[in-house]
Amino acid sequence: MTTNQRFSVAGETAVITGSSQGIGKVTAELFAQEGANVVVSSRSQEKIDAVVEGINESDAPGRAVAVECDVRERDSVEALMDATVEEFGSIDVLVNNAGASFMAGFDDISENGWETIVDINLTGTYHCTQAAGAHMQEQDDGGVVINFASVAGTKGSPYMSHYGAAKAGVVNLTTTLGYEYAPHDIRVNCIAPGFVATPGVATQMGIDAEDVDRDTVRRRMGLSEEIADIVQFLASDASSYMVGETITVKGVPDIEESPEV
């Protein structure tokens, strides 16, 4: 296997949750372009149909199908995994990208608001990984699980305590499953992005992807394409020695500078 082939996902089948827009959509498009079959999934059938249509009408060698799924509902998740196996014969890669958040002070977060964010970000990861893991454990060559956390879950983030707590749980779950699933030839890793110019960030913060200068190293806002590249790395044989890890991707680091006197 050549060096370039070790980064290949050609011929793999990937389930990507929350892929109607943003990082998930770009990842689905990249994987299909690289020769993988992709299952595009979110709660909006209309949106995922549009993503799949764009992929299948392009010159991408991989094929895409759309399966509506609410990651909070176990029956919906199991139907997603069953549909994937029925369509493509296996689940080689699971990308737990579905997520949601809103900004609020801790005292202003209602019980319903807290439960909703934890259900989507943490419990949804549990549902999808357990359901896909059952199929992967029956496969001869195992599989790969890629979770999405956030720097809010590794360092904390004011006005996003519910989201940060859920994502911290995803980081810990990744480490534990990396150990538990290793005997089944299933690698589990995680990505913790900083700010990425997605439609969600554009809505909350008014920052558009077109405003990000990709030619400079010194920036604190990333692009979905840059995160998708890391997803491909984790899905490929190039990351074969990486298990149970969380990769933080947030641009220029915050450092403690020497004070001026």
pLDDT one-digit tens code per residue, 183-197: 999 999 999 999 888
Which of 116 and 216 is assigned the larger pLDDT? Answer: 116
Q: Is the dihedral of CA 87, 14, 65, 76 positive or negative?
A: positive
Pick the closest to residue 185 from 123, 230, 135, 147 (CA basis). 135
Give mean pLDDT, residues 218-241: 93
- Angle CA 125–72–16, to nearest 5: 50
DSSP 8-state secondary structure symbol assigned to residue 60: -
CA atoms within 13 A on the CB side of 219: 15
Mean predicted lDDT score pLDDT of the chain: 93
Q: Are 129 and 96 in contact (CB under 8 A)?
A: yes
pLDDT one-digit tens code per residue, 141-196: 999 999 999 999 999 889 999 999 999 999 999 999 999 999 999 999 999 999 88
DSSP E strands, the chain: 13-17, 37-41, 64-66, 93-96, 143-148, 186-193, 246-249
- Strands 93-96 and 64-66 come out as unpaired
Which of 219 and 135 is assigned the larger pLDDT? Answer: 135
Q: Which of 94-98, 187-191, 196-200 comes out lowest in average pLDDT? A: 196-200
Active site residue 181: no
Determine the pLDDT at residue 257: 78
In the chain, the percentage of residues whose pLDDT exceeds 70 is 92
- Domain 3-193+223-249, CATH: 3.40.50.720
Q: Which one of 163, 179, 181, 241 is the catalytic residue?
A: 163
